[in-house]
Structure 1
Amino acid sequence: MGDHSHGSPDDSGTVAKAGTGTLDKFQDPGLPPHRKRLADTDPRAEKRAERQVALLFIISIIGTLSFFIAYFVLGRPDSLSEIRVQNSMLGLGTTFAMLGIGIGIVHWAKVLMPDHEVSEMRHAIRPEADRQDAEDIINQVIEETGIKRRPLIRNTLIGAIALAPVPAIFMFRDLEGSGKTAGQLIEQLRHTMWAKDVRLTRDPSGTPIKAADVQIGSVFHVIPEGLNETEDPLNEKAKAVVLLMRLDPTQMNVSPGREDWNVDGIVAYSKICTHVGCPVALYEQQTHHLLCPCHQSTFDLTNECKVIFGPAGRPLPQLPIAVDSNGFLVAQSDFQEPVGPSYWERG
């Protein structure tokens, strides 16, 4: 073993050199030199930084106001284009409301709050009754933020923080105002407009479909008859919309009890993906696969739409169908299982 000249510090802050018996005093290097920022030395830069922080808080306020406009002014949209516009405004408004506050506080801390390092002696723990030190620390923090001497930042921050939670309050109020319990809302998701003898009609025209109209390889986007006359057609459609296709019956694998759910190879399945509820809209005629474009969940139509790829956790629900006396396709009942994502079923 070689002779090492390194030592270790003792409790007094000295270092003993191995093999020498001498002691060297440990030198505290102290804090590194503090480099001042432009806002620390230039009053104009400080004022400019203050305006930047206030602008970010104002952006948060504008985002919240945009949410209000989309929520109250647009009201209940009547078309898909209006729904997209409203959802975009709601999402962007909430995003800017939150980001404006967050980025504003970070920018405030970086350019205006003190950034020098402080070294303090460790003190013995004092009784809880002695709160003076805690009050001094709080006052020091308030003083360092400069919020007292910067009314522009203070007022815009108060406005942004006061408005930011309001959209959530209105949304929760609407849930409460529906007059339905959580169990009732879940139960509502479990059922659709489909029922015995309800005709299958084309989406969006509402024209009834005859079995003779459905050829092998064709795809129909289907809604229940009378859906367009309901009080809330968009919500009803979101649950009830189905895809109608025809297969060669010899290519179909049918489970016991489902033998009469199709009409000579004509089958109807929910269009709502069981992953997160995106519309399944792509049909590969050669492979008889249905594809969800959102996350590529793939369902095998010849095998009762079981999942063969992707994150979906269960098959698309099948709608039992039949033919009425006039040759029109009708439902035998509602879906036998909840449609849509699995979290709808769990509630």
Structure 2
Amino acid sequence: MAQSTAPSIPSLTSVNRRLDYYRRVFAAYVARQPSQLSFWHDVPAINERAQPGVLGDYYMPFHAKADYGGPFDQAGVPLLNYHGSIGCQYNPIAIAQYGLGNFNRFKETGEAGRCSRALAAADWLVANLEPNRQGLWMWHHHFDWHYRTTLKAPWYSGLAQGQGISLLVRVFAETGEARYREAARRAFEAFGREPADGGVSYRDERGRVWFEEYIVDPPSHILNGFLWAAWGVYDYARLMNDEGASRLFAEGARTVADNLERYDTGYWSLYELSPTRLPMLASPFYHQLHIVQLQVMHTLTGESRFLDYARRWEGYERHPFKRRRALLQKILFKLLYY
């Protein structure tokens, strides 16, 4: 891990970028205007209908995402409104989650409209899987995005790969249409390569594998993105009966379990293992998401450490002083860094 990064005097560009971020937050949560932020932050929950090893319901319900109010394109594929210079964009992660939420609703209710929405998302994923510079098949984001540095379009994400695979394998299991299986197979190849070779699986100095949400140097090891990506590896292994994918999931699960103490501050969970002097805590939403994800990981693996930390972090959430301390530090981090 690189040396801790001290905060520097923000440039005019950095100040404008942060002001734009706070305008988007205000629009989403105060003015209640439709925005990309209002799509992401539904209430994290376990889908009690999901069964380990069965490609039926997804592990989280995503009901609010399934009921996303738009905008949509003419094919019924959701767009996210980032406002400002970015505007309305396709986001492959959002499209996959919208599809998974509607797939869950279809399995629960049998409604044809829910099935159609899930298929629209899956069809978009099939049509928009494209090779990166190293020839690996990716779902690209075709807009610039700032995370620590500016990610220049087209950029890709281990989170997008995992969530896309999770939708495609379920739609294949439901329909039997080979194009969904083939797209999942192509997308999975990125997990077999390191970022330097165009992939999304970073190997650290001890040989441990990390599925990276954002491809940055040094790697940030975002916890929620790692876990959602890992579920895609798990689902692919189930569909294909692929021993290599099963081993890769087990490696990833062990990496997380062995490093949970690094994400634990004693009063809140970390969003990432950032190389900054002030660590980046999770927001209240992402802290809740971590708890649910660890509970799911316990169900998938039987590893007791996942449940132990989920319970510990639930305790932090119930403690008023710890909640306030975490929120203040999160705000300070945003002001000083990104």
Same fold by TM (over 0.5)? no
What's the TM-score, normalizing by structure 2? Answer: 0.23
Q: Which entry has the higher C-alpha Rg, 1 or 2?
A: 1
Structure (1/2) with the larger helix percentage: 2
Return the structure number with greater relative CO, CA threshold 8 A, min gap 6. Answer: 2
Structure (1/2) with the larger strand percentage: 1
